[in-house]
């Protein structure tokens, strides 16, 4: 890990440790002092500009550099559009547009888009944390050309129900003000980028679940000894650790030493961690709840927040079976053997 990444990771860790707790996750309100304090510290520290080009006022980091930051945010269960803003500002930077000094959320799920005199109308689906953001970034296709559009929030918001307490909204927009609109440049693939962010977040959440299991079993006693002394519990925790390690290893497909971020847009590099974290998520959810028993299902205890997150992220953009079919088709359409295919 680069020295500058370590420094930024330490800053991020201190801010999240100070401001994010289970009470915030369960009682998040846009006007609460706790939310405003967290938002102010993140924005003022310029953590949302990590991927922005240096000549536009950012740190000039690569997508590979922020993997541990996305991972850390997921470990804390950070219930705000922190990562969404980092990605949104990155996309603006790729269009040579200066970053925003506020929270932004984003989606690529759009319908019935109409652009008229710097105004946008249409239907936007599954927008995370829209209640906490002031602006929305979307990728949409208009007349066979893909565009990235930034516009001000407004219109009718409809809260979606999902496994996670992460708020997602559908938006019916009518003539909202466009701030920026440009054609999407190559090779950016917004969907693959968002999928990879979810894979990294899933890995971070599983690391947190493993930590919770170890702490709980080291403290909870049954029949005069801690749960960690029981062989079945030890087997469950070792299986969780194995799945976490395998998921972390799968993220290596995203890493490269170049600044072009190409692996984050590559279909094969996207499919491998998506499949592996999806498989692991199902096992980790089941085993961690077996370890915790009834305690794990209580709202006041942290475990269910993270297992719900895994369940939600696992199925977003298609589950592991869907992506196994995609990876299989990619393999059949080339001439390398399986080992060469997976490692090149």
Domains of the chain: 1-102 (1.10.540), 103-185 (2.40.110.10), 190-342 (1.20.140.10)
Whole-number average pLDDT of the chain:
92
Beta strands in 184-297 (DSSP E): 221-222, 225-226
Q: How far apart are CA 68 and CA 148, in angstroms?
A: 26
Q: What is the pLDDT of residues 118-136, one digit of tens each?
A: 999 999 999 999 999 999 9
Does the pLDDT of residue 203 top 70, yes or no?
yes
Residue 33 has pLDDT above 80, yes or no: yes
Tell me the average pLDDT across 176-181: 96
CA 67, CA 328: separation in Å to the nearest integer?
A: 26
Provide CB contacts within 8 A for 22, sequence distance 6+.
Answer: 77, 300, 302, 305
Residue 161: the pLDDT is 67
Q: Is the peptide bond prior to 187 cis by the omega test (within 30 degrees of 0)?
A: yes
Closest CA to 53 of 85, 90, 88: 90
Specify the pTM: 0.94
């Amino acid at each position: 890990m680069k020295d500058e990444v370590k420094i930024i990771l330490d800053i991020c860790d201190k801010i999240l440790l100070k401001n994010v707790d289970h009470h915030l996750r369960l009682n998040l309100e846009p006007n609460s002092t706790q939310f405003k304090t967290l938002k102010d510290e993140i924005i003022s520290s310029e953590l949302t500009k990590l991927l922005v080009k240096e000549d536009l006022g950012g740190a000039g980091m690569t997508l590979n550099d922020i993997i541990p930051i996305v991972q850390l945010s997921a470990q804390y269960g950070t219930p705000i559009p922190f990562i969404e803003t980092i990605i949104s500002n990155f996309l603006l930077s790729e269009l040579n547009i200066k970053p925003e000094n506020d929270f932004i959320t984003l989606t690529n799920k759009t319908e019935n888009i109409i652009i008229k005199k710097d105004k946008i109308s249409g239907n936007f689906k599954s927008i995370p944390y829209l209640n906490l953001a002031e602006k929305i970034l979307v990728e949409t296709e208009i007349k066979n050309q893909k565009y990235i559009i930034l516009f001000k929030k407004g219109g009718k918001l409809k809260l979606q129900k999902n496994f996670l307490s992460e708020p997602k909204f559908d938006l019916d927009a009518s003539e909202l003000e466009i701030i920026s609109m440009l054609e999407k440049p190559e090779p950016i693939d917004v969907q693959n980028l968002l999928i990879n962010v979810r894979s990294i977040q899933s890995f971070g959440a599983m690391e947190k679940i493993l930590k919770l299991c170890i702490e709980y079993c080291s403290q909870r006693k049954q029949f005069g000894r801690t749960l960690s002394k029981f062989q079945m519990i030890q087997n469950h925790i070792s299986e969780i650790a194995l799945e976490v390690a395998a998921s972390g290893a799968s993220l290596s497909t995203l890493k490269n030493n170049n600044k072009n971020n190409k692996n984050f847009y590559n279909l094969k590099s996207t499919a491998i961690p998506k499949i592996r974290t999806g498989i692991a998520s199902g096992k980790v959810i089941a085993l961690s709840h077996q370890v915790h028993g009834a305690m794990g299902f209580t709202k006041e205890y942290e475990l269910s927040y993270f297992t719900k997150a895994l369940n939600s992220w696992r199925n977003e953009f298609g589950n592991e079976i869907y992506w196994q079919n995609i990876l299989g088709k990619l393999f059949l359409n080339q001439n390398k053997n399986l080992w060469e295919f997976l490692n090149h």
